[in-house]
Structure 1
Amino acid sequence: MAPEVLRNKRNASSFFASEGSIDVRGGSDMTLGALAAYLRYLEGTGRDDWQELHDKLRRVEIGNGTSFYTLFSSSLFLGTISRRRVFYEAIKYEKERNAGFISPFGYSAPTVTASVDAICSMEWYRLLALKSQTCNEGGYSIRIWSWNGYIIQYTAVGNDGPAILLVHGFGAFLQHYRDNIKEIADNGFRVWAITLLGFGKSEKPNVSYSELMWAELLRDFIVDVINEPVHVVGNSLGGYISSIVAGVWPSLTKSLVLINTAGTVVPNYSFIPTSEEWRASFFSRLGARLLLLYLRSSAASILKSYYPTKRERVDTALVNEITRASYDPGAAMILESIFNFNLSIPLNFLLDSFGGSVLVIQGTKDPLVKSGVFLSMLREHCRHVLIKEFDAGHCVQDELPEEVNSILIEWAMEKSEVNLAMKAV
């Protein structure tokens, strides 16, 4: 039989478009067949198509239950199969395994657990998004954007003027710019603030989180939602992610503002080390759950250490939202990802690749970094960088909002005028 005929025969029975594909393809019947194979992973099979799915399941199961999102998220997003049908099939199979009963101590198969947990999580964030859209939080409305099928919350304020995108740090959300958004917009700007995947009230799917994934999310947000180059402002991890966007896709970034950014400066770098594929371990899962317990019991004291100058800014609303988010489905998974972070691309490489104007706002009392050493390295190894120092901690934009707003408005206005002048020439 000719190789082409063999290939077509394989494709007709396979749940996947190609050998390298990892998401289930086809119509409803094909997807239901794939779901049946997925749920029955522990039973083994002699069917080639089921064996292929089981092989891919093992390949993409980097953490408990992550394989379900990888294999079936596209089918769910496209509506090939409904969440209700997945839930029904998973519970039906569980009852078949247990003589018609469901144990109060958990499901008998990890694939059933993964399927049910994923569907319940998706429904939770759908309802949370609906609630957020009916509430006017901080004087601005919450909007919803779907990225790769996941729910992302953001806000947009202002009708005219240059575009500014505000990006929060690890564990935060768009409301961390609560006293920046409206003030900046009122001074002649259009302001977007986003809650990244895995944080706040945006969805927290059971997937592998990385700085590169968040950078791709920001890139797509700028292209799909803002639809024009933008001044990007990032705090902490959000600063590092924004630097990746500016360095890799410089045409999307008018200027870059880094507020107590994450990342390191590496003199004389000769290559960019790549991250190895991460797989969750017992220790990362244990560490994530211990971190969750610590966060829930000590959120206020942790936050106050980041606000050394104005501890009163750590109010009930801020503490409550950070604590609330720690109980969301998928919160443990995002904390597990901490053990995979290495921020391996040097900041100076990213800023050199960008080549545009960069403003660094640094709180000199940041408990997470030695500001003096960090700023010294920036001055020595980074071009096009203007540095502004403040007597503040890690979250300067929220600790000293008036001062930061003044600088951001002046900076963005100046850079926008320069861009207009260059276009005129």
Structure 2
Amino acid sequence: MPPVVSSSGVGAGHPASGVRYGPALTLLASLFFMWGFITVINNTLLPHLRSVFELNYTQTTLIESVWFIAYFVASIPSAKLIERIGYQKSLVIGLLVMAAGALGMMLAASIPSYGVTLAMLFVIASGITLLQVAANPYVAVVGKPETASSRLNLVQAMNSAGTMLAPMFGAYLILGRSKGGTATADTVLTHAERLADAQSVLLPYALVAAVLVVLAVVIARFPLPAMGSATQRLAAEERKHLSLWKHRNLVFGVPAIFIYLIAEIGVANLFVNFVSQPDIANLTHEQAGKYLTFLWGGMMVGRFAGSAIMQKVDAGLVLAAFSIGAFVVMLVTVFSTGPAAMWSLILVGLFHSIMFPTIFTLGIRGLGPLTEEGSGLLIMAIAGGALVVVQGYLADSYGLQASFLLTAACELYVLFYALWGSRPTHALPDVTLED
């Protein structure tokens, strides 16, 4: 796996004299916010597209699968691009690629075309992949290794702020401005109504594209500090006797990220359809989309709280406690009805909050000079979100509510990882950049 970032000047484990990373982390937090915001727009976009194109659950979740396949396809090319042109230029390119995809979504709505929609979502996700491949390891290595989980949870809280605001944005500008979004669950739309509904995404994606271009200009002009040799790949001769596969926390961490993403994305994507059901909350899609804000708001609160807790409590123990909580509320979701089922599904956001950043930092713990390669593998594992299509199939075959048993099973793997799989083996000295 090629390095995720490259530059020169800072030795491994030695801070650059006079360099402060606070402003850079603040700017990176805005990137976390934007890719969280854009990703969660999909949660309101999917029920909208399901209505416009008359899709079943399998076809609907295939849209999100295409999104996460981009993480698998684009991860290695992203790492190579960063190695070739540098960290800062790659961030700018990633933002511009996302902007191009957002403009492409306007084209897809104008036709309208299911195929073009899939292609443009892939483009947007590829841009986000480029940002993810660089930004997550950057945050993880800036500072002390023992507080890496706390630090990444704190910055990821800004990602959650984006995910919390996106449902309100999508519910108002997409679902609230469409016939399908304001109608009851059993309403059948005419062909003309579906064509009119397709146009409702034009304004939201025009606004998103404009913000992304502005952010790209800001990043291009910002004096980001060099990452240095702390994140550079070892020369082939030096790393001959080092192997990623000797590190249990990474070997089990890659499937932990993969499996966790199935759970997170399945809940988010099917939330609106689930709570809209007559025996759950009997809401319109627009109304249900607003409740999605509470799901993502719980993730933001959980990350701030988790960041504080992990300053004093072992990250593995915190992860174990949160995975048990997630398992319990998913069982309530499956085996209850009415408000209890809706609010238990909302509550899983709180328990999911710390999982990605904590698994990520536990996965690279003790990798030392192999940190960059391990980080790349963990980012590729985000492609697990593509398997949300499996939950779509289960929903079509056995019912939407029963399909959340898959989510409950995913929580159990995270619990296994927290208690045993995350324990480092053959740990190497950590490389850090001190703020």
TM range (shorter): under 0.3
TM-score, length-scaled by structure 2: 0.22
TM-score, length-scaled by structure 1: 0.23
Which has the larger helix fraction?
A: 2
Q: Which has the higher contact order (CA 8 A, sep 6+)?
A: 2
